Amino acid sequence: MSQSQTAIGGDDQAGVRVLTTLSEDEQMFRASVHEFAEGELRPRVTEMDAQGKLDPALIKQCFDLGLMGIETPEEFGGAGSSFFTAIIAVEELSRIDASVGVFVDVQNTLVNNALIHWGTQAQKEKYLTLLASEKVGAYALSEAGSGSDAFAMQTRAVDKGDHYLLNGQKLWITNGNEAEIFILFANANPEAGYRGITAFIIEKGFAGFSVGKKEDKLGIRASSTTELILEDCQVPKENVLGEVGKGYKTSIETLNEGRIGIGAQMIGIARGALEAATAYTSERQQFGKSINQFQGVQFQLAEMATDLEAARLMVYNAARMKDAGLNFVKEAAMAKLYSSRAAERISSKAIELYGGYGYVKDYPVEKYWRDSKIGAIYEGTSNMQLQTIAKLLIGK
């Protein structure tokens, strides 16, 4: 093994047990994101959660640090790094605040990835460059009546010669308030069913496009979740992403990658909750000693740590498979399914270990639990992950 690698089970520079070989560059990157999250993000978490809004200064810092274009090729202003590196960033940010974790995640695993894989050279030069330097992106697939059944979408695109005219409404769009560039799906040929679905690149300033209501959510409150409204929205023909009628393929393949990103968000949440619970149980005194000296508490911490270790291994493995060009669909579904459940279990147990203090906002663990719940819902519900895994297992 070279000196530039850390073996399985070794400690990285951020004090985290790693479950896969990390290069020296990956170790340094993790350490830098860890430092940023502790120094710049942690002091803002409570206020952003209460206000339900990301600090604009923090958004700028994410761009300045290169976190918004991790996989984007250097020719377009990005870091030209790996998918696994993006996963490290999402995990480290989510350990402090899952809202910032998903903000960076959507930009990298969904928006940038869709453009990298499906964009023309001209689209990449224009949009990837902007997304790496200053513009936030969003991914608009879901609708009020089109969630797990994404192909039931009602948003329509009509060919008008030199442009398309889009009408419809999108719902549950992460980064909706901050975004200026949207990967948006509409059906250009409803008679063809899902084979009419087409992906479009929408700019916030396009005529007929507007951002609607911002949702008041249980968790990840600083992350904006909005509706999008299209009323005769004019989209130039050159803003079709990929082929007309092949948007279903774009959405499926992009979301497969996005699920690993959500898995990284979940293990970040779980890490934060476990670290908080471990620290608290060493400080809390009952019956003349720290409560972590009681075997019952020790066993609970051990179960939480084991759950986290298994979840992180699954997420890292799926990310490595993606970078290696292997088929990772089943592994991505498993990683998202398991990590979301683990995050909810670990954060819930952390609340119990805190006792009454865990139930109030003066302490961090109630937020970890609130943030964890979304993992079982967005980018494919847990039932949809089970369906994917089952189909791939039985070959149907």
Residue type, 37: A
Q: Alpha-carbon distance 174 to 140, whole Å?
A: 8
Confidence of residue 127 (pLDDT cuts 50, 70, 90): very high
Residue type, 168: G
What pLDDT was estimated at residue 149? 87
Q: Return the number of other C-beta atoms located less than 10 Å from residue 306's C-beta.
A: 11
Confidence of residue 151 (pLDDT cuts 50, 70, 90): confident
Q: Return the number of other C-beta atoms located less than 10 Å from residue 160's C-beta.
A: 12
| Single pTM value for the model | 0.94
Residues designated catalytic: 379
What pLDDT was estimated at residue 20? 56
Confidence of residue 150 (pLDDT cuts 50, 70, 90): confident
Strand-pair category, 225-236 with 209-214 = antiparallel
CA atoms in the 13 A half-sphere facing the CB of 292: 14
In a 10 Å sphere around its CB, with 0-12 CB exposed, 13-18 middle and 19+ buried, how is residue 285 labelled? Answer: exposed
Kindly tell me if the per-residue pLDDT of 215 is higher than 50: yes
Residue type, 101: G
Q: Return the number of other C-beta atoms located less than 10 Å from residue 384's C-beta.
A: 18
Q: Alpha-carbon distance 139 to 179, whole Å?
A: 9
Q: Rounded mean pLDDT of the chain?
A: 94
Q: Return the number of other C-beta atoms located less than 10 Å from residue 61's C-beta.
A: 14
In a 10 Å sphere around its CB, with 0-12 CB exposed, 13-18 middle and 19+ buried, how is residue 341 labelled? Answer: middle
Find residue 228's DSSP bridge partners.
Answer: 170, 211
